[in-house]
Amino acid sequence: MSIVKVGIIGIGNMGSSHVQLLDRGQIEGAKLTAICSRNEGRIQWVKNNTQGDVQVYQDKETFFNESGIDAVIIATPHYSHPELAKEAFRKGIHVLIEKPAGVYTKNVLEMNDAAQASGRVFGIMYNQRANPLYQKLRDLIHSGELGELKRTNWIVTDIYRSQSYYDSSKWRATWKGEGGGVILNQALHHLDIWQWATGLMPKRVNAVSSFGKYHDIEVEDEVTAYVEYENKATGVFITSTGEAPGTNRFEVVGDLGKIVVENEELTFYRLKQSEREFNRLYKDGFGKPEYQKIDIPVKSENANHANIIQNWIDSIMTGSPLLAPGGEGVKALEISNAIYLSSWLNQTVELPVDPDYYYEKLQEKISTSTFEKKHVTNNTLDVKGTH
């Protein structure tokens, strides 16, 4: 294969951005040849803003059957990701899905099985895995530089959203349309990095969520979650779309020190002696381990969508490993499902969550919902924007 013919289904904020990356030749070895959208305005935008001969389809069946694409980027609303991906795999098409992998693990696990059976290259748009800041954090932890992990703490409140954002689409911030709020949408990247960088998945979650606290929405816009890990480490994850100016501070504490990621900088407080060893050997009462503060030079790069797409195309062309394999999308979703369930039930939840039980409880939220959006602007927002 000399070039990968790529189609995009869903031309909203992120789909539009991917159209531009491919059409401008910013992805080596790939060519945008088709898009699928039912929105006449977005179709016209594609026609006005692309240089090449891009086929336009308005129904997914024709798109998958007749476009002749080798690979597809799925950038539709959340619920549709697994079914569209499974359809693509049945047609022998490589898939890159936008996050989240889905809304509930039940059909995401089915999607993962279909991907494995198809033998196609399956990626997910976890673009923060391409951020050198988090890559360095992961390297330090996985190399053992921090020792046995004891605590994680992430405050993510710099993802403010106004009411107009939620009013921009009918599906946003509803159980039926989006399946969740800040924890499923804006903070899902952070949930992924939380487990990817540390190598730890929670075993228990106890969460408190506020639904429509700062906005006229029915889903959560503030969450505080406490987690416990298999190795007895603990963690706290706090997020909100209703605070300004907000904070983004990630602390990871281990037996050999502490790493802080904040203001797009990484600082390592390296202990000169293991805390456990110091605790066992020190005999003079109020002392504490000495440490060295090390500012680690690494440049943060947040806009890494092109890196993930390029990595996916390279994997299709050469078989090189994926930075963000699609099958791993279920991990952050598993954490988010546990957070929701804990908040709904007001109790500690064990992971992994029963997929059928979570699906049942989500359907209850949808079927009993009386929420109605008062204002829907149908504003397309900035096509370069984020979710």
Instruction: Specify the CATH number for the domain of residue 123.
Output: 3.40.50.720
The pair phi, psi for residue 251, each rounded to 5°, is -115, 135
In a domain, 180, yes or no: yes
In a domain, 81, yes or no: yes
Closest CA to 242 of 212, 198, 272, 197: 212
The pair phi, psi for residue 298, each rounded to 5°, is -150, 135
In this structure, the answer to whether residues 77 and 145 fall within a common structural domain is no
Q: Mind listing the pLDDT tens digit for each residue in 339-376? A: 999 999 999 999 999 999 999 999 999 999 999 988 88
In this structure, the answer to whether residues 100 and 139 fall within a common structural domain is no
Please report where in the chains the tokens 């597809």 appear, as a residue. 72
Place 383 in a pLDDT band, splitting at 50, 70 and 90: very low
The pair phi, psi for residue 131, each rounded to 5°, is -80, 120
Q: Which domain holds residue 317?
A: 4-127+303-325
The Cα diameter of the chain in Å comes to 77
In this structure, the answer to whether residues 107 and 180 fall within a common structural domain is no
Query: What's the predicted TM-score (pTM) here?
Result: 0.94
In a domain, 376, yes or no: no
In total, how many domains does the chain have?
Answer: 2
In a domain, 382, yes or no: no
In this structure, the answer to whether residues 165 and 84 fall within a common structural domain is no
What average pLDDT score do residues 5-26 get?
A: 96
Predicted local confidence at residue 331, as pLDDT: 98
In a domain, 177, yes or no: yes
In this structure, the answer to whether residues 142 and 47 fall within a common structural domain is no
Place 381 in a pLDDT band, splitting at 50, 70 and 90: very low
Q: What angle do the packed helices 105-118 and 355-367 form, to 10 degrees?
A: 130
Please return the burial class of 276, using the count of CB atoms within 10 Å of its CB with bins 0-12, 13-18 and 19+: middle
Place 378 in a pLDDT band, splitting at 50, 70 and 90: low
In this structure, the answer to whether residues 159 and 272 fall within a common structural domain is yes
Q: How many CB atoms lie within 10 A of CB 285?
A: 5
Q: Mind listing the pLDDT tens digit for each residue in 180-199? A: 999 999 999 999 999 999 99
In this structure, the answer to whether residues 290 and 155 fall within a common structural domain is yes
Cis preceding linkage at 100, omega within 30: yes
In a domain, 120, yes or no: yes
Task: Tell me the C-alpha distance between 92 and 113, whole Å.
Answer: 14
In this structure, the answer to whether residues 197 and 60 fall within a common structural domain is no
CATH code of the domain containing 265: 3.30.360.10
Q: Is the Cβ–Cβ distance between 96 and 324 less than 8 Å?
A: no
Q: Mind listing the pLDDT tens digit for each residue in 90-124? A: 999 999 999 999 999 999 999 999 999 999 999 99
Predicted local confidence at residue 182, as pLDDT: 98
In this structure, the answer to whether residues 20 and 106 fall within a common structural domain is yes
Q: Mean pLDDT over all residues of the chain?
A: 95
- Beta strands 202-211 and 349-350: pairing type? antiparallel
Q: Mind listing the pLDDT tens digit for each residue in 333-349? A: 999 999 999 999 999 99
Q: Which residues pair with 96 in a beta bridge?
A: 73, 123
Please report where in the chains the tokens 């997910």 appear, as a residue. 124
In this structure, the answer to whether residues 297 and 156 fall within a common structural domain is yes
In this structure, the answer to whether residues 354 and 211 fall within a common structural domain is yes
Task: Tell me the C-alpha distance between 250 and 333, whole Å.
Answer: 20
The first and second tokens of residue 139, run together, are 């390297």
In a domain, 311, yes or no: yes
In a domain, 375, yes or no: no
Predicted local confidence at residue 154, as pLDDT: 98
In this structure, the answer to whether residues 136 and 267 fall within a common structural domain is yes
Q: Mind listing the pLDDT tens digit for each residue in 126-150? A: 999 999 999 999 999 999 999 999 9
